[in-house]
Amino acid sequence: MDIDLPAPEAQQQRVVIIGAGFAGLRLARKLPARHFQVVLLDRFNYHQFQPLLYQVATSGVEPSSISFPLRKIFHHRKQVLIRIAEVESIEPNLKRVRTSIGDIPYDLLVLAQGATTHYFNMPDIAQHAFPMKSVPEALLLRNTLLQRIEKALTLEDPQSKQAELNIVVVGGGPTGVELAGTLAEMKKKILPRDFPEIDFSAMHIYLLEASPRLLGGMSQESGEKVRKYLGGLGVEVRTETAVTGYDGEKVSLKTGEVLNSRTLIWAAGVKGNQLKGLPAEAEAPASRIRVDEFNRVPGLPDVYALGDIAFMQSDDYPKGHPQVAPVAIQQADALSKNLVSEIKGQSPKGFRYRDKGSMATVGRNLAVAEMGKLRLGGLIAWLAWMAVHLMSIVGVKNKIFIFLNWTWQYITYDSSLRLIIKPAVKQDEKSPG
């Protein structure tokens, strides 16, 4: 059954966008009201700034500071209709999207549902490890990290206490590197003041990477520099070290070694959020959706894919573009222009990614940045990293709050966000029995 939506105006086409991440949000903001009615679908009622999820997980910033309500973003864009729903499937032959709140017909469909954690077909890790791809997952990790330390405070057995304190981060990309560095700074500067009864020298923070070096998407020089930074903070970095299993207590490595830890954080890979209704020719590696240079999905007229979910091969990117925010934003900009061009009877232009550089932070005054042939490290790279991320966050208030949080932490080596907040469970009003 179709959900009740205002009909598009006579000159408008209805564009249904699945996902309010960087790509979906950008496209919804760019499409002109004169030509398009936009229906934006997401399971959350906010846009989340994923690059800073690790700071929510480590009590660095409030979740509200990296989230922005979708309806507030589109206060003055009445042609953008927002619906909070789970997308169940698409029916291209009927030009219809099936959702948890009903069916939505479309003229044009844009798939921008992003990516989720990839466990590489290891069910035990999927069951016991902690992912970090959404605000709820980051909050769960924050609660767990703090609860583990609280429990360690009550244990007398050294081995059990160490298992509660030890943290294993799997994945040596930017997320893993940034998370491990922040945890190390907490261990060194913050936790001893909160828990003076605990000897944190017994706490181990491991960063495991299956490939030969860290930050595989950046230069070897940057990878080596980051490894040096992490080592200086006390992180035990191990490259060429693959995880083969985890039962919630012990991390099994391909080398045969076993690490005792009740907290394994999985940042080792992503895959596309799968969607029913796509033809076989649209399937690409890691559950992504194959697209041409105009972001069109093969075999599906009037269907496009953007961002992390889109797999566009080219001479420069034979394995597809990197799954990062700049790609998503640039693809959305290109598609919005092409859709307008087609209405005007003009030919669309193929997408060409303009790589403006990469960066990763490790901790206070420690970061790496690459912009073309320019390689930066240390304080300058750290300041550049902060500036880029502040400019990218949605909402002036959020920018101010995060800047104030960062400034306070820099001055005091502390934050006041180490709160264990569990969702309340409403009890049945009837007495049992």
Number of structural domains (the chain) is 2
Strand partners, 130: 265
What pLDDT band is residue 433 in, cutting at 50, 70 and 90? very low
Tell which of 253, 268, 283 closes a domain.
268
pLDDT of residue 244: 96
Judgement on whether residues 129 and 264 belong to the same structural domain of the protein: yes
- Asked if residue 256 has pLDDT above 50, the reply is yes
pLDDT, average across residues 13-33: 97
Phi, psi (degrees; rounded to nearest 5) at 115: -125, 165
Contact 369, 358 (CB under 8 A): yes
Judgement on whether residues 334 and 307 belong to the same structural domain of the protein: yes
Nearest to 35 by CA among 97, 5, 79, 70: 79
Structural domain boundaries enclosing 208: 123-268
**CATH number reported for the structural domain that contains residue 249 in this entry:** 3.50.50.100
235-253 residue pLDDT tens: 999 999 999 999 999 999 9
Average pLDDT, the chain: 93
Nearest to 350 by CA among 312, 388, 404: 312
How far apart are alpha carbons 62 and 330 in whole angstroms? 28
309-361 residue pLDDT tens: 999 999 999 999 999 999 999 999 999 999 999 999 999 999 999 998 999 99
Phi, psi (degrees; rounded to nearest 5) at 261: -165, 135
Judgement on whether residues 166 and 225 belong to the same structural domain of the protein: yes
- Asked if residue 270 has pLDDT above 70, the reply is yes
- Asked if residue 146 has pLDDT above 60, the reply is yes
Residue of 178, 185, 209, 370 marked active site: 178
**Has 150 been annotated as catalytic?**
no
How far apart are alpha carbons 403 and 409 in whole angstroms? 10
Nearest to 297 by CA among 276, 285, 308, 311: 311
Predicted model pTM: 0.92
**CATH number reported for the structural domain that contains residue 296 in this entry:** 3.50.50.60
Tell which of 206, 235, 268 closes a domain.
268
Q: Is the residue at 431 inside a domain?
A: no
- Asked if residue 117 has pLDDT above 70, the reply is yes
How buried is 179 (Cβ within 10 angstroms: 0-12 exposed, 13-18 middle, 19+ buried)?
buried
Judgement on whether residues 274 and 319 belong to the same structural domain of the protein: yes
Tell which of 237, 268, 299 closes a domain.
268
Q: Is the residue at 374 inside a domain?
A: no
Q: What is the 3-state secondary structure (H, E, C) of 347-384?
A: CCCCCCCCCCCEEEEEECCEEEEEECCEEEEHHHHHHH
- Asked if residue 416 has pLDDT above 80, the reply is no
pLDDT of residue 427: 65
Neighbouring C-beta atoms of residue 244, cutoff 10 Å: 13
